[in-house]
Structure 1
Amino acid sequence: MAKRLPTTALRLFSRRLDTAFSSSFAVGSQPLKLEPAAPTIVDLDDHWKLFASVSTSKLLRSSVNLGFVANETFVDFGMWVMDSRLMETTLVRDVILKTVKHTMFDHFCVGETTEEAGMCIRKIHKAGLRGMLSYAVEHTTNNDGCDRNLEGFIRNVEFSKSLPPSSVSFVIAKMTAICPISLLRRVSDLLRWQYKDPSFALPWKLNTLPIFTNTSPLYHTLEKPEPLTPEEEQDLELAHKRLQKLCQKCVDLNVPLTIDAEDTSLQPAIDYFTYSSAIMFNKDENAIVYGTIQAYLKDSKERLFMASKTAENLGIPMGFKLVRGAYMSKETRAASELGYDSPIHSSIEETHSCYDDCASYMLERIADGNDAVVLATHNLQSGKVAALKARNLGIQRGNPKLEFAQLYGMSEALSFGLRNAGFQVSKYLPYGPVDMVMPYLLRRAEENRGLLSTSNVDRVLMGKELKRRVKSLQFGKAGDELHEGRNRHTIAQIPQQAPRFCSYT
C-alpha cells in the first residue's frame, strides 16, 4: 500500500499552485479569477464566430431544449416521472420514452446506434471539434451482462478507427458496466478497511496507485468486512480480464481510454481497477488509461497529487480527466444518513477553487513533460483561466497531453470559444438505446441545476445569433448553406500556428 503523503508535501503542493502563475491564480476558498486587466484569449462575446459552424435549425432546437432544462419545475417533474412507478406500465413507459427521445435525449445524446454516433462525430469534426465516444451502458448486476457490455466497448473502440483520423480523442468506459455493482461495493469496502488497518491482508490485490487520504470518506465501511469468497475472487478476476482486454484493444489501435467516476461508495474499487491497469498499459510516455478526478470532493486535490507523483516515481505516464462531479445530492444524503459531514466542498466557490488548483497543477505537469489531462469544464471562468495559463506555460498547439472537453449539448459557447482560440476541444458523446441511457440523462437533469448560468449564456448568445440570421434572411436551407460557407471561411482564419500553446464542470 502506498505511504500517506506527509503534511509538508501538501504544503509544497499548495505553494506551487499559488506561486506558479501568481498574476492570475490564487489558492484559497475563493475561485481563481482573471485579474481585471489580464488578457483573455477565449472570446465568448462574438456570437457570429462562436456559432458559425452550427446550422440555424440546430441553434433553434438547442435554444428551446436549454430553455426546458433551465426550468426547475420542468426538470423536477421529469425526474419524478422517469423515476416513478409509471415507468412500470408498458403503454405509459413507451409514451414517456418517446417524449424523452425527442427532447432530452436528442439534446444530450448523439443517437441510439454507432452509425448515428458516427454521423454526429463527422459533423462536429468538420466544425473543428473532436469526440469522446461513450457507449452509455452502466450499472450491471451479473457476469453475463458484463460480458455483453465488454463486447459493446470493444466494438466502440474498433468503430472509432473507422472515423476520420483524430476525430475521436477518447473512448469512455464505466467499470459499473463490466464489473457487477455488488462486487465493486465489496472491493471498495475491503480497500477502505485496509487503509484503516494496513495489516488487513488482501491477497488478490494488484499493484496500484494511492486511492485514499486522511480526509477521504471512509464512513461507508464502519465494520470490518468479510474477505472475498472464492466465487467473488473468481468474479474479480473476470472483471480484471475484461478491463485488460479493453485496454489491450485500446493499445493495439492507439485509442486513449477514459474510465468514468462514480459516487464515493464505489469509487475506491474503480480507482483500483483504473490505476492497476494504468500500471500495466501506460508505457513510453503514452498514457492510454485515464482516471477521473471529481473536484467537488474535499480529498480530490490530495488524491490527484499522490497518484500523479507516485506514478512519476514508478516511471508510469498517467492521464486524468478532471471534472467537478455529478453525484452531489446522492453523496450529501448518504453522509447525512450515516451522521457524517458531506464529502463535497461546502460551497460552489470552494469547488471552483479546487478545480482550478488541480487544473493549474496538471498544466504545470504537462509543461514539465509529465502526465496528461482532459480539462472537462462547463465553467466559463475556469476555461478562460486554464487557457491563459496554458499559453503562458508554452504548451504548444496540438499537444496530445492537453484536451478541453464539454458534454454534448452543454456549454456550446465555451467549446467554440476554446476552439477559436486554437485549443483541442472534445465533446462527450453518449449513445445507446433511450432506456439504457436513462441514468445518464437523469444525472444531466440534476447537474443542470448548478449550471443555469452557463446554459443562460448559451441561450442568450444563441438568441442573438438567431436574430442576426433572421435579419439577414439566413434561415431554411439557403441560409444554412450560406452559413456553412461562412463557417469554412471562419475556421480557415484560425491560426495554423497558435502562439505557444494548445489546446466537465
Structure 2
Amino acid sequence: MVSKNCFEDTETAFKLKSDSELERAYFLFKMIANEPLVRIGTAATRFALNLHLPVEGLIRSTVFDHFCGGVNESDCLPTVDNLYAAGVHSVLDYSVEGKEADTQFDKTKEKVIELTYFARDKEAMPFSVFKPTGLGRFKIWQKVTAGEALNEAEQAEWERIAGRYDATCKVAFNCNVVLLIDAEESWMQDAADALAEQMMETYNREKPIVYDTLQCYRHDRLEYLKARHKRAKENGYKLGFKVVRGAYMEKENERAEEKGYPSPICSSKQATDENFNAVVRYIMDHLEDIHLFVGSHNEQSSYLAMEIMEQKGLAKNDPRVWFGQLYGMSDHITYNMAAEGYNVAKYIPFGPVKDVMPYLIRRAEENTSVAGQTSRELTLLKKEKARRGI
C-alpha cells in the first residue's frame, strides 16, 4: 500500500544538505515567494550581466549553486555521485538557452553527444537530454510549425537542424542511453514533435531510446498522444514520453490573447491536473508500447502514479517507468521515492553562469506562478530546520 505521508519525511528529503545549504535554500525560497522581488531581482540580474558587472560570484554562491550542478560536467560529478549514493540518478542538462548562430548549435550538439558517451559509462546517468532550440534557431522552428515556405538558405538551415537531431539520436542509440527531448512554446512545438517522431521511427524499433515531451497544460495532449500511439503501432516502433505540466503558461496565454487565437492552455489548474493524470494513466495502460518519465513536482500526481503501479502489480523499479524532479526543488519527493525503491532522477542543469541565467530566471518566475509550490518548499525546509535545531 502506497503510504500517503511518505513525502513528509524531511530527514530523508534533506539528508544531502548541510546546515548552511539548508539555510540558503530557505532564504532563496523566501525570496522566490515574493513576486515583486523576483521581478526586480531578475531585471537587475539581466542588467548587471549585460553590463559585465562583477556579480557572477554572488550568483554562483546563491541561486546558481542551489539550482545547478556546476559550470561543466566535471563540476557536476561530486553531485552525481552523492545523489547516486542516495539512490537517485542524474540527468545532466546543458542549460544554455537563447543562442542564434550555427556554431553555437553545433557546439551544443557536440556537448549533448559528449554527455551521452559520458552517460554510457556511468550507471548513475541513464539519460541524456536536449532542448530543440539548443540545436536550431527558434524562428526556423516557428516557420516550419506555421507551415510557412522556407527560402533556400532557411531550407538548408532546417536540414542542418535535422542533421543535428539525427547525429545526436544515433549516438544515443549506439550507446543504449535514453535521450530526452524537451518541449518548448506551442508555436514552435509541432516542428519539434514531427522531427522527434521521425527519430523514434528510426531509432525506437526495438525499444524506446528517443523520448519526446508532453506538456499537459496543453488541453490537446491526450488526443495527440493517442494519435502518436496509433501511428507508432501502424509503423512498428516504440514510444517514450516525458510527461510534464509545462513551463511557459503565462507566455502562452499572453501570446494567444495578443494574437487573438484560443489559448492552447487548459482553462484551470484542476483541468491541467486532470489532463496530466489522464495522460499518465493512458501510458501506464500501454507500457508494452510506451515508456514513461513522470516529470512532476506535484505530490498528488506522484502518489497517483505510484498507486497505478501498485494496482497493476508492477515492481517499484520497473524499467519502463521513471520519475524526475529538477535539482534544487521537491527534494521531499525525489529522496523519499528513491528510499522507497522507485526509479528516480534529478535533472541537473549546468553551464557557464551567464549562459545559464535565462534558465534560472525562468525557474524563479515559474516558481512564483505555481500556487503552493514555494510555500510547500518553505514549510518542509522550516520543519527540517526545527528538527535539526537550527
Give the TM-score normalised by structure 1. Answer: 0.74
Structure 1 residue 307, shift from structure 2 partner: 1.0
Work out the CA distance in 1 between the residues paired with 2:313 and 2:4.
Answer: 14
Match of 1:160 in 2: 119
Match of 1:391 in 2: 310
Q: Does 1:253 pair with 2:175? A: yes
More helix by share: 2
Contact 1:42 1:417 survives alignment (8 Å): no
Contact 1:288 1:319 survives alignment (8 Å): yes
Amino acid corresponding to residue 370 of structure 1 in structure 2: D
Work out the CA distance in 1 between the residues paired with 2:142 and 2:344.
Answer: 34
Amino acid corresponding to residue 52 of structure 2 in structure 1: T
Match of 2:204 in 1: 282
Whose radius of gyration is greater, 1 or 2? Answer: 1
RMSD: 1.9
Q: Once the two structures are aligned, what percentage of the paired residues are identical?
A: 31
Amino acid corresponding to residue 275 of structure 2 in structure 1: C
Cα 1:452–1:72, aligned 2, differ >3 Å: closer, same or farther? same
Work out the CA distance in 1 between the residues paired with 2:346 and 2:59.
Answer: 21
Q: Does 1:271 pair with 2:184? A: no
Which runs of structure 2 are paired with 1:46-61 in the superposition (5 Å)? Answer: 46-61=9-24
Work out the CA distance in 1 between the residues paired with 2:5 and 2:291.
Answer: 22
List per-residue Cα deviations over 1:104-144 (Å, max 9, x = no partner): 21111111011111221111111111111111123332322
Matched residue SS, 2:328: coil
Structure 1 residue 293, shift from structure 2 partner: 0.5
Amino acid corresponding to residue 367 of structure 2 in structure 1: N
Structure 1 residue 103, shift from structure 2 partner: 2.0
Amino acid corresponding to residue 250 of structure 2 in structure 1: S
Cα 1:88–1:46, aligned 2, differ >3 Å: closer, same or farther? closer
Match of 1:243 in 2: 165
Contact 1:323 1:355 survives alignment (8 Å): yes
Amino acid corresponding to residue 280 of structure 2 in structure 1: A
Contact 2:97 2:359 survives alignment (8 Å): no
Where do 4+ consecutive residues of structure 1 move more than 4 Å? none
List per-residue Cα deviations over 1:411-451 (Å, max 9, x = no partner): 11111222222211111111000111122112101110233
Which runs of structure 2 are paired with 1:9-20 in the superposition (5 Å)? Answer: none
Match of 1:292 in 2: 213
Matched residue SS, 1:168: coil
Work out the CA distance in 1 between the residues paired with 2:327 and 2:32.
Answer: 14
Amino acid corresponding to residue 181 of structure 1 in structure 2: F
Work out the CA distance in 2 between the residues paired with 1:39 and 1:89.
Answer: 52
Structure 1 residue 182, shift from structure 2 partner: 2.3
Q: Does 1:348 pair with 2:307? A: no
Cα 1:275–1:229, aligned 2, differ >3 Å: closer, same or farther? same
Work out the CA distance in 2 between the residues paired with 1:43 and 1:320.
Answer: 26
Contact 2:368 2:374 survives alignment (8 Å): no
List per-residue Cα deviations over 1:74-103 (Å, max 9, x = no partner): 21212222455x543223xx32x3332222
Match of 1:439 in 2: 358
Work out the CA distance in 2 between the residues paired with 1:414 and 1:106.
Answer: 20
Work out the CA distance in 2 between the residues paired with 1:131 and 1:317.
Answer: 24
Work out the CA distance in 1 between the residues paired with 2:119 and 2:61.
Answer: 26
Match of 1:197 in 2: none
Match of 1:108 in 2: 67
Contact 1:261 1:292 survives alignment (8 Å): yes
Which runs of structure 2 are paired with 1:191-340 in the superposition (5 Å)? Answer: 225=148, 227-284=149-206, 286-340=207-261
Match of 2:88 in 1: 129
Work out the CA distance in 1 between the residues paired with 2:382 and 2:29.
Answer: 11
Contact 2:120 2:126 survives alignment (8 Å): no
Structure 1 residue 53, shift from structure 2 partner: 4.4
Work out the CA distance in 2 between the residues paired with 1:241 and 1:329.
Answer: 32
How many residue pairs match? The answer is 390
Q: Does 1:40 pair with 2:3? A: yes
Structure 1: runs of 5+ lacking an equivalent: 1-37, 191-224, 472-505
Match of 1:89 in 2: 51
Work out the CA distance in 1 between the residues paired with 2:349 and 2:72.
Answer: 10
Q: Which moved more, 1:230-239 or 1:297-306?
A: 230-239
Q: Does 1:422 pair with 2:341? A: yes
Structure 1 residue 469, shift from structure 2 partner: 2.4
List per-residue Cα deviations over 1:2-30 (Å, max 9, x = no partner): xxxxxxxxxxxxxxxxxxxxxxxxxxxxx
Match of 1:187 in 2: 144
Cα 1:181–1:67, aligned 2, differ >3 Å: closer, same or farther? same
Contact 1:40 1:388 survives alignment (8 Å): no
Structure 2: runs of 5+ lacking an equivalent: none
Q: Does 1:149 pair with 2:98? A: no
Structure 1 residue 465, shift from structure 2 partner: 2.3
Contact 1:141 1:182 survives alignment (8 Å): no
Structure 1 residue 260, shift from structure 2 partner: 0.6
Structure 1 residue 42, shift from structure 2 partner: 5.7
